[in-house]
Amino acid sequence: MAIDRQLDRIKRKRMRHAERKLKEAQLQRLRTERSILYWSRVIADLKHERTRAVQPPLWPQEDSKQQ
């Protein structure tokens, strides 16, 4: 009986450890997903900004001077 109780205690300890590690891994995954989303948005903003900065004029400049 004492051996059974000792094995149960060890099993509960391992279970708590495994559950804690699982929770830590899930939190890490959530942080990583948020980081990926954040940096994807930053890159998209920078690409849009660069594209907008080098966009050619929509009409020739001579036409706008005549009006």
- The pLDDT-based confidence of 53 (bands split at 50, 70, 90) is low
Classified as helix, coil or strand, 58 is: coil
Q: Which domain holds residue 31?
A: 2-49
Q: How many domains does the chain have?
A: 1
Q: Is residue 55 part of a domain?
A: no
Q: Any idea which residue has 């400049």 for tokens?
A: 61
Q: Is residue 16 part of a domain?
A: yes
- Evaluate if pTM is beyond 0.75: no
Q: Return the ∠ at Cα 35 (arms to 32 and 36), rounded to 5°.
A: 85
Q: Higher model confidence: residue 31 or residue 1?
A: 31
Q: Is residue 57 part of a domain?
A: no
Q: Is residue 32 part of a domain?
A: yes
Mean residue pLDDT of the chain comes to 86
Q: How far apart are CA 24 and CA 29, in angstroms?
A: 9
Q: Is residue 61 part of a domain?
A: no
Q: Is residue 19 part of a domain?
A: yes
